[in-house]
């Protein structure tokens, strides 16, 4: 392994089962996460972003299963096929928190309300390092200080409800970064926070990425966040990555009709209340009754007969790939 | 927290005053009085009105309502709880005679139901949807919906009458025999009371546990790579504990007030049984005292619940 790829996902399919019906939540997704780079996964609610993150961590609910494909974690000790590890088994537990860490959307509910912040940070360290209790305590305080929390010696013994929203998320990040993970998965980490705090959190994540060479997978539905943070972008729709590439590829020359529609639908600040917001027509299809071909075809302005068959992934350039039969007509 | 406890304890005093007056008023409003209950209906026709009023005068029942309440409360404040109208036994003797029996029974039931209720409820939640969980749910439903007296009578019928394994009721007096002689008497009422309580605790802890296991912090704990037992117990159960503590706390008054129905069915010589007899006979000094004890127990239990929830859940602040 000479490349800088920390984790690669190949043709991953995760299905959810309810009452004999099957929701193909992730329907063949491939991407790589690179060291020291941020991969942003964007898409609307229910498109499979969070499921992708959960699948990588083997945190799926009971009635779901990795149907096909592979998740390979390129560890220093060799490649590990995460998809083949037992759910909640000893091996995945060794990776979770220590090598792949995750932060969640709402830091209020993601922290246990009855334990101190310190206790919850120290818990990871206790399980993943050989440090003594004294060192662990010190490390927890240092982590909080690194995250920019004032008076960490005092704050470490406080409970989540005594922290503000932004501080809670910092504490979450401190928890996630406690064992210096190789990969950090952030599932909409700032959705529950206000914009100024959002900027601080992202600044912090960027700093960590630079200092520790961490690979970051950031899930968001905010294009502004993508533009600011991402090195690479993957746009998801109905369980597929419809377009992926570097930020410049995707944001500056979007090829997929969905990406374009998504970018067009962003309201522009300063144009006042009367600006016409170009919403995407229609609604996302019922996940149990997907269109046979391209999932976006029923809502797409460029749909043709060819769209009745599921399009293949096609590389436009070395980094830019797309899943659309008509992308040439679009641009 | 100390100021909170002191303040709550101070509130107890006026509350007891108010409640004692209300209970007294309630007793006054019921038709008849202690004398009319003391006299056999067959003899009643032969007793003259003078004799009746003499009896009332001897018991102080001829005075006005407020006057009697005043006398009663002054006596109580001086530590004199009065005498039972039926039999003339000092009430403090009756209470201290009956209290150990009630304490014994309720204590066993509360301890057992807490331990088994929590264990079964948590187990049920962890195995949600399994055969064990479903059967436990059915048993829990039955335990809640079948009335205690029915359950008690069935238990008596099977174990005491048909199988004759256990005595049919009553309780040997303390010190009368060794604990081993008293134990068989305790088994049936203890078992029935504990079972009814267990059903409630079980269902409560199951739903509290399921609720806490579905929260986001469980996913966080899992994402930290913690082992399952730690996720379930240190994170899940700890949070589920608060509602369960409240439920168990509300049962503490049974320790003093007794379980009226179970004590009746098994002829358990406890406070609950005595209370029923006193109400029937309109033995108001005794009713008042037992009622005040129960009220005191309820007030103390709610104070204990508040303190315990504050200890378990840091978000609860007592001030």
pLDDT of residue A62: 81
Angle at the Cα of A176 (from A173 to A180), degrees rounded to 5? 115
Residue B75: inside a domain: no
Pairwise CA distance, residues A252 & A263, whole Å = 10
Task: Return the higher-pLDDT residue of B72 and A133.
Answer: A133
Residue A181 burial class via C-beta count within 10 angstroms: exposed 0-12, middle 13-18, buried 19 and up: buried
B239 CB-near residues (< 8 Å, 6+ apart) = A112, A113, A114, B212, B215, B217
Residue B53: inside a domain: no
B225·A159 Cβ contact <8 A: no
Pairwise CA distance, residues A38 & A231, whole Å = 5
How many helices (DSSP H) and strands (DSSP E) are in chain B?
16, 0
Q: Please name the member of B223, B225, B235 whose beta carbon is closest to the beta carbon of A112.
A: B235
Q: What are phi and psi of A231, to 5 degrees?
A: -95, -40
In the predicted model, residues of chain B with pLDDT beneath 70 are 34, 36-38, 40-41, 44, 169, 172-181, 258, 319
Residue B30: inside a domain: no
Residue B29: inside a domain: no
pLDDT of residue A39: 93
Question: How many structural domains is chain B composed of?
Answer: 1
CB-based contact, A53 to chain B, within 8 Å: no
Q: Give the CATH number, domain containing residue B108.
A: 1.10.3720.10
Residue B66: inside a domain: no
Q: Which segment of A2-16, A20-34, B59-73 scores lowest on mean pLDDT?
A: B59-73
Question: Within 13 Å and on the Cβ side, how many CA atoms surround A287?
Answer: 20
Share the mean pLDDT of chain A: 86
pLDDT of residue A120: 92
Pairwise CA distance, residues A238 & A243, whole Å = 12
Task: Return the higher-pLDDT residue of A127 and A330.
Answer: A127
Q: Please name the member of A97, A113, A114 whose beta carbon is closest to the beta carbon of B224.
A: A97
Is the model's pLDDT at A272 over the cut of 80?
A: no
Q: Please name the member of A93, A94, A111 whose beta carbon is closest to the beta carbon of B220.
A: A111
CA A257 remoteness from chain centre: 22
A110·B220 Cβ contact <8 A: yes
Gyration radius of chain B over CA positions: 24
pLDDT of residue B70: 87
Q: How far is B3 from chain A (nearest CA, A)?
A: 22
Q: What percentage of chain A has pLDDT greater than the value 70?
A: 99
pLDDT of residue B155: 84
Residue B219: inside a domain: yes
Q: Which residue of B has its CA nearest to A110?
A: B217
Q: Which residue of B has its CA nearest to A103?
A: B220
Instruction: Find the domain containing B153 and state its range.
Output: 100-262+298-312
B314·A159 Cβ contact <8 A: yes
Q: Which segment of A153-162, A300-309, B140-149, B177-186 scores lowest on mean pLDDT?
A: B177-186
pLDDT of residue A1: 45
CB-based contact, A112 to chain B, within 8 Å: yes
> What is the arithmetic mean of pLDDT over A186-200?
83
The A5-18 sheet, strands edge to edge: A21-34, A5-18, A64-75, A78-81
pLDDT of residue A300: 83
* A240 Ramachandran zone, left/alpha/beta (phi>0; psi -120 to 50): beta
CB-based contact, A128 to chain B, within 8 Å: yes
Residue B223: inside a domain: yes
Domains of chain A and CATH, by start? 5-99+179-330 (3.40.50.300)
A 143-182 residues inside an 8 A Cβ radius of B: 159, 161, 172, 175
Q: Please name the member of A59, A109, A127 whose beta carbon is closest to the beta carbon of B223.
A: A59
B228·A161 Cβ contact <8 A: no
Q: What are phi and psi of A75, to 5 degrees?
A: -85, 165
Pairwise CA distance, residues A195 & A187, whole Å = 17
A123·B220 Cβ contact <8 A: no
In this prediction, residue A276 has a pLDDT band, given cuts at 50, 70 and 90, of confident
Q: How far is A120 from chain B (nearest CA, A)?
A: 9
Contact A112, B221 (CB under 8 A): yes
């Amino acid at each position: 392994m000479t490349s800088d790829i920390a984790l690669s996902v190949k043709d991953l399919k995760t299905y959810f089962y309810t009452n004999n019906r099957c929701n193909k939540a992730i329907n063949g997704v491939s991407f790589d996460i690179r060291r020291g780079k941020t991969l942003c996964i964007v898409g609307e609610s229910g498109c499979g972003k969070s499921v992708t993150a959960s699948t990588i961590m083997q945190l799926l609910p009971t009635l779901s299963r990795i149907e096909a494909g592979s998740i390979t974690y390129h560890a220093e000790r060799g490649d590990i096929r995460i998809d083949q590890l037992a759910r909640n088994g000893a091996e995945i537990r060794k990776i979770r928190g220590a090598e792949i860490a995750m932060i969640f959307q709402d830091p209020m509910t993601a922290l246990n309300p009855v334990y101190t912040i310190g206790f919850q940070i120290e818990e990871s360290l206790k399980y993943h390092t050989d440090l003594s209790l004294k060192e662990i305590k010190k490390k927890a305080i240092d982590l909080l200080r690194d995250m920019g929390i004032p008076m960490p010696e005092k704050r470490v013994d406080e409970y989540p409800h005594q922290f503000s929203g932004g501080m809670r998320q910092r504490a979450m990040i401190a928890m996630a970064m406690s064992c210096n993970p190789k990969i950090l998965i952030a599932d909409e980490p700032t959705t529950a926070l206000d914009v100024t705090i959002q900027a601080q959190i992202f600044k912090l994540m960027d700093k960590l990425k630079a200092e520790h060479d961490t690979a970051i997978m950031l899930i968001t539905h905010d294009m502004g966040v993508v533009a600011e943070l991402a090195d690479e972008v993957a746009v998801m729709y109905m369980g597929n990555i419809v377009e992926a590439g570097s930020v410049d590829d995707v944001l500056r020359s979007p090829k997929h009709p969905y990406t374009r529609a998504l970018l067009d639908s962003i309201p522009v600040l300063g144009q006042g209340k009367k600006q016409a917001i170009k919403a995407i027509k229609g609604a996302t299809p019922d996940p149990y009754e997907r269109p046979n071909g391209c999932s976006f075809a029923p809502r797409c302005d460029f749909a043709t007969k060819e769209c009745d068959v599921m399009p293949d992934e096609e590389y436009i350039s070395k980094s830019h790939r797309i899943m659309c039969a008509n992308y040439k007509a679009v641009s | 927290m100390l100021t909170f406890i002191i303040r709550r304890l101070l509130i107890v005093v006026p509350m007891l005053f108010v409640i004692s007056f209300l209970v007294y008023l309630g007793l006054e409003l019921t038709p008849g009085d202690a004398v009319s209950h003391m006299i056999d209906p067959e003899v009643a026709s032969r007793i003259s009105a003078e004799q009746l009023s003499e009896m009332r005068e001897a018991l102080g029942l001829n005075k006005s309502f407020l006057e009697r309440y005043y006398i009663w409360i002054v006596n109580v404040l001086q530590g004199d709880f009065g005498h039972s109208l039926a039999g003339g036994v000092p009430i403090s003797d009756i209470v201290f005679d009956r209290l150990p029996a009630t304490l014994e029974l309720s204590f066993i039931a509360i301890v057992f139901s807490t331990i088994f209720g929590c264990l079964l409820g948590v187990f049920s939640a962890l195995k949600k949807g399994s055969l064990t969980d479903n059967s436990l749910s059915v048993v829990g439903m039955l335990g809640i919906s079948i009335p205690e007296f029915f359950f008690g009578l069935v238990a008596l019928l099977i174990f005491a009458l048909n199988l004759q394994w256990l005595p049919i009721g009553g309780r040997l007096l303390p010190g009368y025999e060794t604990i081993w002689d008293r134990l068989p008497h305790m088994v049936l009422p203890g078992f029935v009371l504990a079972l009814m309580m267990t059903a409630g605790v079980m269902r409560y802890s199951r739903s509290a546990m399921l609720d806490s296991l579905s929260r986001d912090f469980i996913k966080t704990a899992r994402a930290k790579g913690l082992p399952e037992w730690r996720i379930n117990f240190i994170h899940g159960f700890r949070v589920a504990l608060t509602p369960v503590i409240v439920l168990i706390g509300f049962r503490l008054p049974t320790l003093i007030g007794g379980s009226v129905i179970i004590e009746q069915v098994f002829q358990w010589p406890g406070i609950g049984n005595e209370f029923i007899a006193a109400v029937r006979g309109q033995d108001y000094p005794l009713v008042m005292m037992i009622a005040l004890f129960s009220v005191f127990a309820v007030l103390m239990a709610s104070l204990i619940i508040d303190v315990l929830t504050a200890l378990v859940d840091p978000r609860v602040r007592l001030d």
